[in-house]
Copies of this chain bind each other. A is one copy, B any other.
Amino acid sequence: MRVLEIAGLLGGTYEGDGERDIVAAAPLEAAGAAEIAFVGSGKARREAAASAAGCLVAPPDLELAGRTLIRVKNPRAAFAEAVRRLHPPAPRPRGIHPTAVVAESAQLGRDVSVAAYAVVGERCLVGEGCLIGPHCVLGDEVVIGAHSTLHARVTLYPRVNVGARAVIHSGAVLGADGFGYVFEDGRYTAFPQIGRLLVGDDVEIGANTTIDRAALGATVIEDGVKLDNLIHIGHNCRVGKHVVIAAQTGIAGGSVIEHHAVIGGQVGLGDNVTIQSGAVLGSKCGVLPGKIIKGGGIVYWGVPAKPLKEYLESLALMAKLPELRRAVKELQARLQGGG
């Protein structure tokens, strides 16, 4: 595509050679004369002048003489759109593979593609335009909304509901039994997990992530949630709209995460925790069972999690312990010595 076409697409203005042909997107430091890159912040702004990119997507205030540019308010977001246009996804597979096992009672919408060896159970409802990848297993009465994509080897246990435009990566397991037991006479027996798992629209779920269904009632993942790989979400949790959670975080049963919270990697939430809207939990932090974490943009770190200000103060106090000990020894010496 030509630079001036890309500029039009991104709603930006161009400078320099509008007729230059761009064939691919590339990282700033590696882009060549027929490639487009973007200038984010900080380090990128300093490196922009040295980039060999044929076209740069740049913020309005960056001074770059003699370059071909497209000026936009949010270079990263605009660049993402350019990438989507220059690198459209591979043509989607079509049709039902002859080896797919699809129950007669299952209903597949228009233009659904089911790949090799996928298994679709009794009375499933699969919305139009869905892609079910190789080796996926949909248990009985699973419902999936339109235009959702399941990559290879995704397991949906019976009666799981997934909304529209979901993207679920390989190895994810949705709807397994919650981890609930009754302890009697020195042994554990399973507390029956007869609840549901309900996933909203525009949800993305990473590879090998597990989300358990509820004991009673429902585990709920609301619209727009993005989950990274190897995450565990326990039974009866509710994850609010547009929450983002990074890899390997674990959330115990009954917890509630309100909309737009941001949760780092390897975070651990005990059961029945509430994370209020807009809270930010730093990686590896831990929240004890039953706690309420206030939202509104406060950032939390540590185990147990504290607001960043307090956490940094603790670290600073710990760092000054040697100095404190010396001060005390000195006071002891002075008092010993007389007066």
In the bound assembly, the distance between CA atoms of A216 and B271 in angstroms comes to 38
Most B CB atoms within 10 A — which of A229, A283, A325, A335? A229
Chain B hits for A191, CB < 8 A: 76, 80, 83
A116-B116 in contact given A190-B167, A224-B187, A230-B232 (Cβ < 8 Å): no
Cβ-defined partner of A332 (8 Å) among B135, B171, B181, B327: B327
A324 at the interface (CB under 8 A from B): yes
Partner of A77, one of B179, B184, B320: B184
Among A5-13, A22-30, A124-132, the one that faces the other chain is: A22-30
| Cβ–Cβ < 8 Å partners of A228 in chain B | 179, 232
User: A176, B80: Cβ atoms under 8 Å?
Assistant: no
Q: A49 contacts the other chain (Cβ, under 8 Å)?
A: no
Shortest Cβ gap from A85 to chain B (Å): 10
Q: A140 contacts B26, CB within 8 Å?
A: no
Copies in the complex: 3
Residues of B within 8 A of A90 (CB): 140, 158
Give chain A interface residues in 206-228, CB to chain B under 8 Å: 206-208, 210, 212, 216-217, 224, 226, 228
Name, among A27, A191, A250, A320, the residue most crowded by chain B CB atoms within 10 Å (CB to CB).
Answer: A250
Chain B, residue nearest A223 (CB): B187
Q: Which residue of B lies closest to A140 (CB)?
A: B90
Of the listed residues A187, A246, A266, A320, the one surrounded by the most CB atoms of chain B closer than 10 A to its CB is A266
- Which residues of the other chain, B, contact A152 by a CB distance below 8 angstroms? 119, 137, 139, 155
